[in-house]
Each structure stands twice: as structure tokens, then as C-alpha cells.
Chains A and B, each alone.
Chain A
Amino acid sequence: MLTVKSELPIAIVQGQHWTQYPKDVYIPENALEISVDEFTGPLDLLLYLIKKQNFDILNIPIVKITAQYMEYIGMMQELNLEPVAEYLAMAALLAEIKSRMLLPNPESNDNEKDPRSRLAEQLYAYNLFQQAAATLDKWPRLERDNFVTKVMPPNKMPLVVLPTVRLEEIVKSIQFLIEKNRRVKHHSVLIGQISVKDRIFAVLQLLTTKLTATFSELLLFDQGRMGVIVTFMAILELVKTKYIELTQDDVYILLKINPDNLDILDMERKDQIK
């Protein structure tokens, strides 16, 4: 830095001796002082003072530290940096601890806690998190240390777009299934309540393993006609929430799990394993 060089009693620039600063060089008054607003808070400032002098956090020379802390607060005021309430609160706390340590304690000292202990605990914890923050900052991260590859896919992607399913097709297929299941209905005994939510999970579960399925594959024989309707409602709900896609391959309507939502299913399954 230029300012440091020009502090030498005699500067030699290209063989020429200088005893004074050149008049056209402006050196700010506080150029060499530590900028006070660099600290993120009163604890940060305290930790800086403690570390600078290699003090033990658990045994802070409170009188010394308080004096130095107040010096910084004064500097802040000089620089017209409004010392925020938190800094002043810390100054008050330091003064309080100082006075409590100076005052003789009439009670036995054995079970009396060191007045510094709470602050020490806080400083200790904060110091640890500061270390963690520094490590995190050095940790390899995207956009700085690692970059995601992005290879352009070929222009002409042979994309097979299956015809979208029209509503009437869906209705037709559900009518067919209801009709088909009406005939099996008298085989079944009393059917309990079937919840749409249960069917949603059943459908999702089946589709996560099979990935595609037809309507009829999702039905449970013993749930009869009610089962068809409830399953149908479950499918409609899943389509609406974009968990699954409907495609039509020939005459059958094919249910296809939407790959965008696999992550959610993935997590659910992990949960089940637990």
C-alpha cells in the first residue's frame, strides 16, 4: 500500500529522495485504523479483542477487555458511526460484570458463580459457530468451486407424443369397468368404507414400482363397484395435482407416473422403511 510506504522517513522513488508526502496524494485520516463496522456485533468485537491478545475465553481479564471495548465504542462515535443499541448493551453488561467482580462478596465464594460465566458460555458457543461458518465458507460449493455440466441435447429429439386423453374416453372406460364389476358384485360380502386417500396411496405405491399401469390393474377385486368409483376419484385427484399423467396407447388408457414427483414418493418410501 502506498500509504504505508510513504510513512518511511525518506522515500526513494526512481532515485529521487522524498522527505514529505507529495501534495497531490490524499491520505484519509483513519486510513490505517481497523474499520469498526467490520464487526457483525458486540460479541464479534469482543471475540476479536480476546483472540488478538490470546486471552482465555473462560478467564477473561474483564477490566482490560472492558477498557478496550469502550475504546472501540468511542472510536465508533468519533467516526460518527451510530453505535447500535446492542453494542451499548454489551458495554453495560461488561461494566456490570466488572463491578460485581470488584465488589467483595460477603457470602461464601464456594457456590457463587463467576459473574463472567454466562458471557463466557455465550462467547464460547459463538466462537464455535464462527469457526463452523468459516469452514462452511471454504467448503466446495457450486458456482465457485464446482460447476454443473450442461451438455446441449441434440436439436431433433425424437419425441413420441402420445395422444392426450379426452374426457369422454375416461368416462367410457370407467363406465365399462363399473359395468364389468356390477356382475361380480353379488359375489362380495359387505364392503367396508373405502377412503379416497387410501386409494391414492395405493395407486401411488403401485405406480412407483411399476411406473405405468392401466385402470383395471389398479382395482382390487373385493372392493367391487364402490372400489372402482373411489379409485377413479383417486386417479382424478392425482392427475389434478400432477402426480400422475394419463396417456393413451391404443385403446387402453395408460396411467403413467409423473417423473417430476418421484422425489416425494422416494421420501415417503424412506419413511416407511423407518
Chain B
Amino acid sequence: MSDGLTLKQIVEAILLASDRPLSLEKIRALLIRDNSSMEAPSLKELRLVLDQLILDYSNRSIELLEVASGWRIQIRQIYAPWVSSLFGERQPRYSKALLEILAIIAYKQPVTRAEIEAIRGVEVNSQITKILFERDWIQIVGRSSNPGHPELLATTRQFLDYFGLRTLDELPQYNDFKNVINVGETMASEDLVATKQARLDFDCNVNEESLDI
């Protein structure tokens, strides 16, 4: 880098200014200036720089974290009491019912409303799913082949970002889930891994379709 600027500082500046997580690819694309012949750093170099930043922040109130959509700088959790008072009483609280529905979708996805109802023994409150959709935490990933072709619900990348997770595997794992995953509706005997794979496949299909002319 010219002018005594280091790659680390430039990457830090980009991450500090962004209020959304940035993927490695995106950071790399931002490093290319139109009229310079500068070579973009390799992804490996970028990773090294990010590792250095993590170390730099080790005794500071901020931390660099990788979530589903990429890398972001955030305030460490222990400072939450002070920082949250900055935002007043705005910190959201979620009802028990909402968290239950979210947990079922997260662990059992893709899942239909009927399956959620079978587990909880009550109708799924449409107000709750509306909140989950508005927060961009859940999405419809397709339709079940069951009668009526009900919508299949799954969590989004934003959900993972919000909870500081990279993948669904980082959710606390319960061994017993394997046994109860089919409780309720007669869902095909696919385990969590298979359903997750199906979801990924689906995402890729969507992208391909959107490119069709």
C-alpha cells in the first residue's frame, strides 16, 4: 500500500464505518480503486489482517466478530448496561410464545405452521409470525408436499447475524432433538443436517432462477 497506509488500517476503517457485516469478498471488492492498478489482496491476506485486528481489540471495548453475512465490529457484551442506556428503553423484549416459535423454526427447519402447532398445542399466532417476518428472521423457503402444500418456514441469515452466529450449527445443540424432531406431523425421516442441506440447495436454486432471462 502506498502513502504509508497499511491494509489493516484500511480494512479497519471500512469495518468501522459499516453498520452491516461485510463479507471477505465484499471487503476485497471495496479495496479495488477504479483508477489504480493495485492488486487486490488475496482472501488469505485479508483473513490474516482480520486476525490481527481481533488481537488488537483484545483489551478494548470492541470486538471483531464473524457472523453469517460476514465480519462486523461490535461493542462487547459486558458494556451493554451502559450502552443500552444510551438508547433509552428501546431494547426489544420478546414474548415467550414468540421465542418458542422461533426456537422451533430454528431447530426444526424447514417447518410448516401445522408442525409448530403440533408441538406447542396451540395455533400459531399470525401476529407473531408477522413480527418474525418483519424482523427478517424467518422466510418462506418453499412448500411442503403434504396436502394443501403448506408453506415451509426457515430462519434467515439476518437471524444468525442478530444472534452473532455464523451457522445454525453454532446454536446450542440438544442431543435429544434428534429423537423429538419428528414429533407431531409425520415428517419425512430427515435429520437436521438433511433439512439444512435442503435449505441451502433451495437458496442456490433461487439465485439461479433470478438470473434467468
Q: Could you list which residues of chain A lie within 8 angstroms of chain B, going by C-beta atoms?
A: 40-44, 84, 86, 90, 121-122, 124-126, 128-137, 139-153, 160, 162, 196-197, 200-201, 208, 211-212, 237, 241, 243, 247, 249, 254, 256-257, 259, 262-268, 271
Do A148 and B72 have beta carbons less than 8 Å apart? Answer: yes
Q: B91: which A residues are within 8 A, CB to CB?
A: 143-144
Residue of B with least CB distance to A89: B121
Find the A residue at minimum CB distance from B182: A125
Q: Which residues of B are found within 8 Å of A131, using beta-carbon distances?
A: 174
Interchain CA distance A52-B113 in the complex, whole Å: 30
Residue of A nearest to B91 (CB): A144
CB-defined contacts of A150 to chain B, threshold 8 Å: 17, 19
> Are B164 and A142 in contact, with the CB atoms below 8 A?
yes
B35 at the interface (CB under 8 A from A): yes
Which residues of B, 173-213, contact A by the 8 Å Cβ criterion?
A: 174, 176-177, 180, 183-184, 200, 203-204, 207, 210-213
- In the A-B complex, the 5 residue pairs with the closest CB atoms: A41-B122, A125-B180, A43-B121, A133-B103, A133-B99
For A140, the closest partner residue in chain B by CB is: B77
B: number of interface residues (CB 8 Å):
67
Contact A271 B200 (CB under 8 A): yes
Question: Which of B3-11, B26-34, B138-146 contacts the other chain?
Answer: B26-34
Given pairs A129-B100, A146-B164, 7 additional interface contacts (CB within 8 A): A86-B121, A135-B172, A142-B161, A146-B75, A152-B17, A160-B35, A268-B207
User: Given A86-B122, A141-B162, A151 and B17 touching (CB < 8 A)?
Assistant: yes
Most A CB within 10 A of own CB, among B162, B183, B184: B183
Of all chain A residues, the one with the shortest Cβ separation from B65 is A146
Assess whether B17 is in contact with A262, with CB atoms less than 8 Å apart: no
A254 to B36, CA, bound (A): 13
Q: Which chain A residues border B121 with CB–CB below 8 Å?
A: 41-44, 86, 90, 122, 126
Which A residues are CB-close (under 8 A) to B33? Answer: 160
Q: Which B residues, 102 to 155, have Cβ-Cβ distances below 8 Å to chain A?
A: 102-104, 106-107, 118-123
Interface centre among B19, B87, B96 (most CB of A within 10 A): B96
Residue of A nearest to B81 (CB): A145
Report whether B119 and A125 are in contact in the complex, using a CB–CB cutoff of 8 Å.
Answer: yes
Q: B164 touching A141 by the CB < 8 A rule?
A: yes
Whether A43 lies near B120 (C-beta < 8 A) is yes
A236–B163 Cα gap in the complex (Å)?
A: 39
Residues of A within 8 A of B162 (CB): 141-142
User: How far is it, in angstroms, between the C-alpha of A152 and the C-alpha of B26 when the chains are bound?
Assistant: 20
When A140-B163, A259-B26 are in contact, do A134 and B99 touch as well, CB less than 8 Å? yes
In the complex the two chains form, what is the Cα distance from A257 to B76 in whole Å? 34
Q: Mark B68-79, 1 if CB is under 8 A from A, else 0.
A: 011011111100
A126 touches which one: B72, B73, B120, B161 (CB < 8 A)?
B120
* Across-interface contacts of B77 in A (CB, < 8 A): 140, 145-146
A sample of 10 cross-chain residue pairs with beta-carbon separation below 8 angstroms, ordered by A number, consists of A122-B183, A139-B172, A147-B83, A148-B20, A148-B73, A160-B34, A196-B213, A211-B40, A268-B204, A271-B200
CB distance from B195 to the nearest CB of A (A): 16
CB–CB B164/A128 < 8 A: no
Q: Determine whether the beta carbon of B34 is less than 8 Å from that of A162.
A: yes
Say whether A148 contacts B74, CB under 8 Å.
Answer: yes
